[in-house]
């Protein structure tokens, strides 16, 4: 019997009724009285000085209420890495120059979308076109144009991670291999494009409806860039149509609508078209990876050295974090005697790259897990056993970096081996590829310089026993409202139906860093657990007073039943206790408070999830077409909390990770995205998805609420590598670029044949 009443049971998503009946209102749906519609004029040039903007013709168009440009702003360079002023480099509505095709240059507010669109075409901008550069290896050359002042060779950020004596470790190696890889970008492609409705009123208060992952970050960033007090800004984000890492920074929709509203004192709504979403919202970071790995002939890992150049695009965004995490997770989940990573994020005149689900780890694993497979093949070793031999374990200390609290990777190997064995011999054009991975459960490094606890929660118990749970954690579809309601219900001893979750409103909810970096289950979960324990303790004070039992007897509440733990059959209804407690507190509701900030857990993450994935792939040898046939993922997320939510997150992560592996090609030509639409940008559909069974490996993470850690982002990491490894096992070709497109497979096979013929 499960020791939990609610945790890991089959619970309906608490937002279910709203979502399946069409009642859920997204920012996309918001309509306010007197609302205007905004549209953004975008730069056609990748790099140019803004000489002059003439909006007079646009202002003459009937129905146009106002136009703003960078001159209507405070010109503040903002960025989400607030702690480092030099990385705050983006004005959003630039004053002096544009740095990528699609960058906002002006914004119009009008009575209708149609009029706003017409007005955009009437704004005349004089540019002085500057030379532009699009690739990091070009941008670091001495003669490359300078994109931001003060950044020599356009190097935006560098990161260095090192432990052990790397040269000595290489000396110990019997076999060394080096490879170059190219990892593509990827678009978040949230079903709800970027959207914001801003309303500034004469009392100096700004209310913003925003499709965002982090209302508190929006509040803080807007305050900084608009010259307002945080407390005079309200950000509302009840239902969000997907985020995936793309919606926790200021975007053109929220910024331009706010600037317009502050000028016009009317609500202004800006919704990006799908095309705008593709060309003007930050993307996954494209990376060039050089990896050199040394192992002993028995497969023991000795040394690894990685040099990475990332295409940062025009602004920093969250790129500094991606640069770090890619280098850190490139070592996962293995022990290295010597490890060195040097990352260089380079400015270019392309769409800025930032954070996307996996945060640099999918790229890291694409390179690491494939090279490991090739090394095993070179040495004639079983690649799974080689991985197992070098894997992390509970308590392992990544030297100078992190301590692994709980680690279930070892149990993953046997599960995957059994599954593979049962498959037996596969037909010639099918093969299975493996990839291991690990990921963080929230980051510790407070680059936002948030003064508040990373997560907070307030539990308020009404007289009838229903519970108001206020959290700052944001539900963007990953189910955090439900997960936190489950934790609250389990801790307090009630049912999920008793909990009403309040989130997505900075006026009423405590601050929280938001939904990114896989942090909410662990961090907000801990805050909720603490708040619920606080509330329960206050309730039980009254129960103890009433029971007058011997001091050795403890009381508890479970399934709405107040009872002595030693004598669970004797008790009474929780609702009765609530009434007594409320009266006892002079009519005040019981309020419990909780919060969580990781302390003394290193500088990366308080906990790590682990996984091992096997993907069965069928490749048409003649056309190179890739078909996903089957898969199995062995996964350690500690204690699962939200059963339905977990399965959904894991299956969904697979679909996005597979897209990165073989579908979501994002080609640029001279700084212009060539496929900014859903016809030419390929997103996986129902007919292409295989079954995605997951084998849960049970571990207990001491730092997480009830032993839980992240799920849903880590699983975006292994699939591209697994697909590549499957192709390697099917045909012996090494795919060093992702997404792996059929033409690349055909070319690789042709090359292999040609070399074979030469070798003779």
Partner 1 sequence: MEKRLLKLKVNGQEYELYITPKTLLVEVIRDHIGLTGTKRGCETVSCGACTVMIDDMAVKSCSILAVQAEGRHITTVEGLERNGRLAPIQKAFLDHGSYQCGFCTPGMLISCEALLKENPTPTKEEIREGIEGNICRCTGYNSIVRAVEAVAKGDYREEGT
Partner 2 sequence: MIHDFTYLKPGTLQEALSMLSDHKDECKIICGGQSLLIVMRQGLLVTDYLIDIKGLKELSYITYDEKEGFKIGATTTHRMIETSGLIKQRFPVLIAVEKRLASIQVRNWGTVGGNLAHGDSSGDLAPTLIALGARIKLASSKGSRVVPLEEFYTGLFETALGKDELVVEVQVPPARPGRATAYEKFNLIRNDQAIVGVAAAVTLEKGGACKEARVVLSNAGVTPIRAKSAEMVLIGKKLADALLLKAGEAAAGDADPVSDIHASEEYRRHLIKVLTKRIVRQAWEQATHL
Contact between 497 and partner 1 per CB under 8 A: no
Query: What, of partner 1, partner 2, none, does residue 758 touch, CB below 5 to 8 Å by kind?
Result: none
Q: What share of the chain is helix, strand, coil (3-state, %, to 5)?
A: 30, 25, 40
Part of the chain binding partner 2 (CB under 8 A), chosen from 223-231, 234-242, 493-501, 681-689: 681-689
- For the chain, what is the radius of gyration of the CA atoms? 27
Which listed residue (54, 397, 680, 698) binds partner 2 by CB under 8 A?
680
Partner from partner 2, partner 1, none binding residue 394, C-beta < 5-8 Å depending on class: none
Count other Cβ atoms within 10 Å, centred on residue 468: 16
Q: Does 663 bind partner 2 (CB under 8 A)?
A: yes
Contact 254, 197 (CB under 8 A): no
For the bound state, the minimum distance from the C-beta of residue 719 to partner 2, rounded and expressed in Å, comes to 16
Q: Which residues pair with 673 in a beta bridge?
A: 668
Residues 624-653 that bind partner 2 (CB under 8 A): 625
Interaction of residue 262 with partner 1, rule CB under 8 A: no
Pick the binder of partner 2 from 227, 568, 667, 702 (CB under 8 A).
667
Cα distances from 531 to residues 259, 504, 524, in angstroms, run 38, 18, 10
Question: Which option in partner 1, partner 2, none does residue 242 bind, with CB closer than 5 to 8 A by kind?
Answer: partner 1
State the Cα–Cα distance between residues 505 and 179, nearest whole angstrom: 48
User: Residue 407, Cβ neighbours under 10 Å: how many?
Assistant: 24
User: What is the per-residue DSSP string for 41-62?
Assistant: EE-SSSSEEEEEEE-HHHHHST
If binding is defined by CB under 8 A, does position 242 make contact with partner 1?
yes
The reply on whether position 28 binds partner 1 by CB under 8 A is yes
Helices and strands in the chain: count of H runs, count of E runs: 18, 31
User: Any contact of residue 674 with partner 2 (CB under 8 A)?
Assistant: yes
**Residue 274 in contact with partner 2, rule: CB under 8 A:** no
Span of 238-246, 406-414, 529-537, 555-563 interacting with partner 1 by CB under 8 A: 238-246
Total residues at the site for partner 2 (CB under 8 A)? Answer: 23
DSSP letter, residue 452:
S
| Whole-number Å distance between alpha carbons of 500 and 514 | 19
How does 340-379 read in b/e, with b if 16+ C-beta sit within 10 Å?
Answer: bbbbbbbbbbbbbbbbbbbbbbbbbbbbbbbbbbbbbeeb
- Closest CB 484 distance from partner 1, rounded Å: 15
Please choose, out of 9-17, 113-121, 198-206, 484-492, the segment that lies near partner 2 by the rule CB under 8 A.
113-121
CB of 474 or CB of 582, closer to partner 1:
474
Residue pair 588/425 in contact by the 8 Å Cβ criterion = no
Q: Looking at beta carbons only, is 569 or 622 nearer to partner 2?
A: 622
Q: Toward partner 2, which CB reaches closer, 307 or 625?
A: 625
Question: Using the rule CB under 8 A, which residue among 40, 485, 656, 749 binds partner 1?
Answer: 656
Specify the residue for token string 């850690």. Answer: 709
The phi and psi torsions of 297 (rounded to 5 degrees) equal: -70, -15
Residue 602 interacting partner from partner 1, partner 2, none (CB closer than 5 to 8 Å by kind): none
Report helix, strand or coil for 616.
strand
Among 114, 298, 497, 507, binds partner 2 (CB under 8 A): 114
Q: Is 670 in the site for partner 2 (CB under 8 A)?
A: no
663's contact among partner 2, partner 1, none, with CB below 5 to 8 A by partner kind, is partner 2
d(CA 211, CA 78) in angstroms, rounded, equals 19
Q: Which is nearer to partner 1, 683 or 754 (CB)?
A: 683
Site string for partner 2, 724-743 (x = CB under 8 A): ------------------xx
Does 738 sit near partner 1 (CB under 8 A)? no
Measured CA to CA, the distance from residue 742 to residue 744 in angstroms comes to 5
Sequential DSSP letters for 278-319 = HHHS-BPPPEEEEEEEEE-TTS-EEEEEEEEEEEEETS-TTH
Indicate which of partner 1, partner 2, none lies near residue 78 (CB less than 5 to 8 Å, by partner kind).
none
433 and 617 in contact (C-beta within 8 Å)?
A: yes
Interacting partner of 55 out of partner 2, partner 1, none (Cβ under 5 to 8 A depending on kind):
none
Shortest gap between Cβ of 276 and partner 2 (angstroms)? 13
The residue within the footprint of partner 1, chosen from 152, 687, 758, 759 (CB under 8 A), is 687
DSSP β-ladder status, 499-502 and 467-471: parallel
Give the C-alpha separation, 726 to 613, whole Å.
Answer: 11
Task: Tell me phi and psi for residue 728, to 5 degrees.
Answer: -60, -45
Is residue 651 involved in binding partner 1 (CB under 8 A)? yes
* Binding-site size, partner 1 (CB under 8 A): 56
Q: Given the complex with partner 2, which of 118 and 547 has the nearer CB atom?
A: 118
CA-to-CA dists, residue 703 to 342, 445, 472, angstroms: 30, 17, 20
For the bound state, the minimum distance from the C-beta of residue 397 to partner 2, rounded and expressed in Å, comes to 44
Output 350 or 474, the one with its CB closest to partner 1.
474
CB of 625 vs partner 2, minimal distance in Å: 7
**Is the CB of residue 111 less than 8 Å from the CB of residue 65?**
yes
CA 122 to chain centre: 38
- Which parts of this chain interact with partner 2 (CB under 8 A)? 113-114, 117-118, 622-623, 625, 662-663, 665, 667, 674-675, 679-680, 682, 684-685, 687-688, 742-743, 746
């Amino acid at each position: 019997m499960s020791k939990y009443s609610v945790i890991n049971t089959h619970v309906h998503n608490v937002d279910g009724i709203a979502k399946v009946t069409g009642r859920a209102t997204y920012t996309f749906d918001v309509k306010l009285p007197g609302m205007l519609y905004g549209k953004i004029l975008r730069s056609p040039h990748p790099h140019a000085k803004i000489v002059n903007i003439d909006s007079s013709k646009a202002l003459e168009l009937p129905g146009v209420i106002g136009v703003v440009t960078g001159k209507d702003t405070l010109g503040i360079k903002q960025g989400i890495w607030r702690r480092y002023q030099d990385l705050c480099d983006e004005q959003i509505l630039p004053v002096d120059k544009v740095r990528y095709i699609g960058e906002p240059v002006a914004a119009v507010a009008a009575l209708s979308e149609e009029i706003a669109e017409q007005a955009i075409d009437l704004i005349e901008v004089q540019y002085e076109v500057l030379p532009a550069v699009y690739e990091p290896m070009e941008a670091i050359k001495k003669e490359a144009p300078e994109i931001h002042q003060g950044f020599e060779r356009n190097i935006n950020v560098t990161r260095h991670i090192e432990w052990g004596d790397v040269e000595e470790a290489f000396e110990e190696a019997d076999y060394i291999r080096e490879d170059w890889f190219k990892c593509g970008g990827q678009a978040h492609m949230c079903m709800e494009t970027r959207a914001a409705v801003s309303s500034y009123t004469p009392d100096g208060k700004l209310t913003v409806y925003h499709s965002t992952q982090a209302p508190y970050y929006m509040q803080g960033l807007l305050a900084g860039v608009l010259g307002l007090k945080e407390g005079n800004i309200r950000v509302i984000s009840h239902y969000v149509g997907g985020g995936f890492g793309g919606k926790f920074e200021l975007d053109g929709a929220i910024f331009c609508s706010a600037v317009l509203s502050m000028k016009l004192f009317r609500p202004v709504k800006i919704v990006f078209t799908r095309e705008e979403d593709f060309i003007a919202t930050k993307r996954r970071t494209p990376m060039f990876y050089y990896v050199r790995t040394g192992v002993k002939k028995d497969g023991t890992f000795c040394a690894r050295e990685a040099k990475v150049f990332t295409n940062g695009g025009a602004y920093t965004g969250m790129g500094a974090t991606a640069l770090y995490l890619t280098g850190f997770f490139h070592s996962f989940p293995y022990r290295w005697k010597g490890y060195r990573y040097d990352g260089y994020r380079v400015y270019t005149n392309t769409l800025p790259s930032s954070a996307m689900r996996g945060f640099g780890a999918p790229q890291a694993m694409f390179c690491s897990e494939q090279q490991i497979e090739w090394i095993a093949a070179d040495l004639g070793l079983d690649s799974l056993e080689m991985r197992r031999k070098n894997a992390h374990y509970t308590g392992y200390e990544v030297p100078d970096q992190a301590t692994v609290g709980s680690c279930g990777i070892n149990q993953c190997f046997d599960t995957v081996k059994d599954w593979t064995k049962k498959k037996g011999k596969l037909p010639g054009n099918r093969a299975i590829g493996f990839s291991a991975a690990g990921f963080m459960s929230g980051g510790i490094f407070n680059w936002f310089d948030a003064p508040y606890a990373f997560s907070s929660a307030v539990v308020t118990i009404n007289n009838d026993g229903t519970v108001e749970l206020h959290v700052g954690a944001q539900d963007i579809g990953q189910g955090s409202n439900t997960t936190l309601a489950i934790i609250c219900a389990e801790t307090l001893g009630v049912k999920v139906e008793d909990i009403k979750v309040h989130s997505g409103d900075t006026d009423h909810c405590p601050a929280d860093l938001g939904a990114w970096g896989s942090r909410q289950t662990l961090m907000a979960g801990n805050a909720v657990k603490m708040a619920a324990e606080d509330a329960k303790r206050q309730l039980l004070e009254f129960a103890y007073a009433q029971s007058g039992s011997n001091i050795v007897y403890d009381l508890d509440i479970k399934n709405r039943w107040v009872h002595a733990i030693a004598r669970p059959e004797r008790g009474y209804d929780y609702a009765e206790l609530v009434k007594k407690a409320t009266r006892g507190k002079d009519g005040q509701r019981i309020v419990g408070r909780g919060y969580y900030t990781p302390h003394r857990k290193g500088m990366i993450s308080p906990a790590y999830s682990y996984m091992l994935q096997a993907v069965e792939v069928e490749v048409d040898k003649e056309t190179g077409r890739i078909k996903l046939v089957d898969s199995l993922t062995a996964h350690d997320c500690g204690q699962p909390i939200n059963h339905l939510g977990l399965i959904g997150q894991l299956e969904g992560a697979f679909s996005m990770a597979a897209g990165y592996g073989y579908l979501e090609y994002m080609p640029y030509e001279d700084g212009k995205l060539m496929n900014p639409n859903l016809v030419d940008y390929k997103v996986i559909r129902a007919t292409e998805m295989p079954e995605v069974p997951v084998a849960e490996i049970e571990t207990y993470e001491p730092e997480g609420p009830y032993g839980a850690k992240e799920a849903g982002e880590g699983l975006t990491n292994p699939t591209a590598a697994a697909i590549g490894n499957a192709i390697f096992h099917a045909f012996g070709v090494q795919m060093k670029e992702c997404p792996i497109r059929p033409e690349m497979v055909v070319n690789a096979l042709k090359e292999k044949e040609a070399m074979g013929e030469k070798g003779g």
